[in-house]
Chains A and B, each alone.
Chain A
Amino acid sequence: MQVVAPVPSRSWRHALTGLLLVSPPFLLMLFLIVAPTVQAILYSTGQVPTDNIVFQSDIDLVSSATPTLVVYQRLLSSPYVQADLAMTFQVTIASVVLVLVVGYILALYVRFSTGLLPSIVRVLYLIPMFIPVVIASYGLIEFFVANGFLQTILAQFGIQNMPSPIYTPWGIVLGQVWTGIPFAVLLLGSGLDGVPQELIEAAQDVGASFGRILWRIVTPQVVTPLLIVGTFTFIGVLGSYTVPYLIGPNAPQMLGVAMTAYNGSYQRPQPAVAMAVLTFLIATVAGAIYVWGTSRTERTAA
């Protein structure tokens, strides 16, 4: 095989092919993410495009020649929005912690147990993945709601008036954990599969307890999957809509629900867009942690 083609032309062609190949996702990012983000930031700081009738229709429209933070100030000083924000954070953090704890326990159980039961669990934890969120939400409502299935069963045993989590923030957490578990267990499970059995056996040989093996040998090996599950769950729950809309209380609302209400029912797209920008910023922080975490492990692996 002879290489006769002039090198510069070839690399030029390579570069062009590379650019062409990378351009569809890049353009998609540009038009679907970057451009709307810029537009949203401009709009929420008072730069209202005159040709956008939907943006113009805001009842409390703030329009100014120079960028202003009035929309954000109004939004963040409202006690109702503060309550929305507080609940959003509480639900998000509770969901992340619970998904991590429950997911990790399930993954450990499936990894380190043998027999029939773990194989059944292995099938069961995947089920939520195949049930659409809307249907799962209605299922949870019918099961846990006041006078629902659970309370009807309990009433047979004389247990009555047990408070129901449905239509409270805990109901949202319940829904988020349900939907988050399959992904968490799958990812943590594959992380655990990567832990060499020899390491564990060696530790057992020198008499290390299960807790010690878990803490000193197994967990350090799955920090990255834990980080990925944590950040993905955080971002997913933060911007979620279906579960909090269906299972959550009328008020306060999670940001996703509040955003939709401001945009539609309240005829106030500007604060809705401002909330979207805030959500985006918070999610960016989580995204940065994820990128930092994964690149760090890649470096140590290399």
Chain B
Amino acid sequence: MSRLSRRRLLTRSASGLFGVGAVALLAACGAGASSAVPATTSSSQAAASTAPSSSAASTSTASAARSTAAATSAAAGGKVQLHFYSSGDVNIQQLWNNDLLPIWNKQHPNAPIQLIFSEHGATDQAVIDKLAGAKAAGKPTDIDLFEGGNNLRTYGEKGIFVKLTTADVPDLSKTPPDVVAEIGSYGVPYRASSVVLAYNSAFVKDPPTTLDGVYAWVKANKGKFTYNPPDTGGSGGDFVQATLEKFIPKADLKTFETSYDPSLEKEWDPGFALLKSLGPYVLNGGFYPKGNVPVLQELGKQTVYVAPVWSDMGLSYLAQKLLPDTVKLEQITPPFSGGAAYLGVPTGSQHQDWSFKFLQWVLQPDQQTVIIDKINGYPGLEWKYMPGTVRQKFAALAKSYDTFSFSSKFSSDVNKLWYEKVAGTPSPAKQ
């Protein structure tokens, strides 16, 4: 569930799309296609990504038209078949196929949902190309629901996904507003996870509750803390990010999140200096295990007592007894960042009423509790709307998380500079 590796996956699939787009463009030129109507007629600020997606769109028009026919014929009876395109790890596939969809299908025999799952989002871009193609051709689509992240916003702004309101999905009002704003209202957050602080209560009687408290604890307890390098997983990545973010002037945060300007990177210097000063106090005098899981394993071996971990991974490890019972998770102040998974509705879907109903259904506490129990995620709803027992169980975690994240190029630079300025030579000066 690492957000960074997910992001890297996105970057790769994006570059893959460019390749596909280029090939499609060539093919389109070769065939002398005249119908290369850009899918992005409205405000397109990202010129680079417009060209390939529009060219890919032109090639997938035919398949969209085909699928439209299928969808209309299905709608003929009173019964409709909904198609839900989802992606992620196997646990998400199981969550839908084994736990949530059987309940929905039983309750709504007139609108059964079929799941089309893409492991690790491998075919997400193809699905979006298909939607873009259908839109460019002015045809409806058979894709009724789509699970995504930033792509919902990117393509929502191009008119491919519905901008959701409380008129469509009443309980959207019960989800955290900043999490919805993050996606531009083009999706409903239905589950989430964040990075939290794990500590072993057998050794840490008075755990730090603030970020500054963490630094102080690390320096007071030599060798009992570690985190993973930012490029190897989101848990360490968010610890690094939170430390850098601490010193960035508020006015510049937006730039760091949405664009790229290397001249601003000097604002990271105090953050990197702080991280480097922690070096001698980190496990074995400065060893950073390579990945979210290796950090959890160090916690399990009790070689470290405090470390940042993903909430869902930490809870799963505790449930599987891979961590001692004495390991507790808590969210600190300011919180580490996290992210939600969203469900969106394509503008071309013919069963939008049902899609909206489904989104409303997913947000009900019953379904939200299933999600929490099965994959140890956070609810999409704000914590206060969850049943008391759930809130009690998650008391130390049931806080909001930071939605900030560096843009792709900035986070690549964070990776590089972390290796150079924190792990790299000259080795950390003993303080």
Contact = CB atoms under 8 A, between A and B. Distances in A.
B22 A167 contact: no
Contact of A83 (B15, B288, B425): B425
Interface string B412-431: 11011001100111000000
B301 interface: yes
Contacts of A245: 290
B217 interface: no
> Binding site of B, secondary structure by majority: helix, strand, loop or mixed?
helix
Given A51-B22, A53-B22, A79-B425, A59 B413 contact: yes
B288 A250 contact: yes
A16 to B, nearest CB: 35
B231 A250 contact: no
B408 interface: yes
Interface in B11-30: 11, 15, 18-19, 22
Interface stretch (A30-38, A113-121, A181-189, A263-271): A263-271
B97 interface: no
What interface size band does chain A fall in?
A: 20 to 34
A264 B19 contact: no
A251 B418 CA distance: 10
A146 B304 CA distance: 12
Nearest to A253: B419
A130 B188 CA distance: 51
> Binding site of A, secondary structure by majority: helix, strand, loop or mixed?
loop
A267 B18 contact: no
A187 to B, nearest CB: 34
A147 interface: yes
Given A54-B15, A250-B287, A265-B415, A80 B425 contact: yes
A140 to B, nearest CB: 15
A146 B287 CA distance: 11
Interface string B198-229: 00000000000000000000000000000001
Contact of B423 (A54, A251, A267, A268): A251
B231 A83 contact: no
A252 interface: yes
Contacts of A267: 11, 408-409, 412
Contacts of A51: 22
Interface in A51-82: 51, 53-54, 57, 59, 79-80
A51 B52 CA distance: 12
B15 A265 contact: no
B277 interface: no
B24 to A, nearest CB: 13
Contacts of B11: 267
Contacts of A147: 301, 303
A167 B229 contact: no
A53 B423 contact: no
Contact of B420 (A54, A80, A146): A80
Given A164-B284, A261-B231, A266-B231, 9 more contacts: A79-B425, A80-B419, A249-B287, A250-B290, A250-B419, A250-B423, A265-B231, A266-B416, A267-B409
13 contacts: A54-B15, A54-B19, A80-B419, A80-B425, A167-B287, A249-B423, A251-B423, A252-B425, A261-B419, A264-B8, A264-B231, A265-B415, A267-B11
Interface of A: 51, 53-54, 57, 59, 79-80, 83, 146-147, 164, 167, 245-246, 249-253, 261-262, 264-268
Interface of B: 8, 11, 15, 18-19, 22, 229, 231, 260, 284, 286-288, 290, 301, 303, 408-409, 412-413, 415-416, 419-420, 423-425
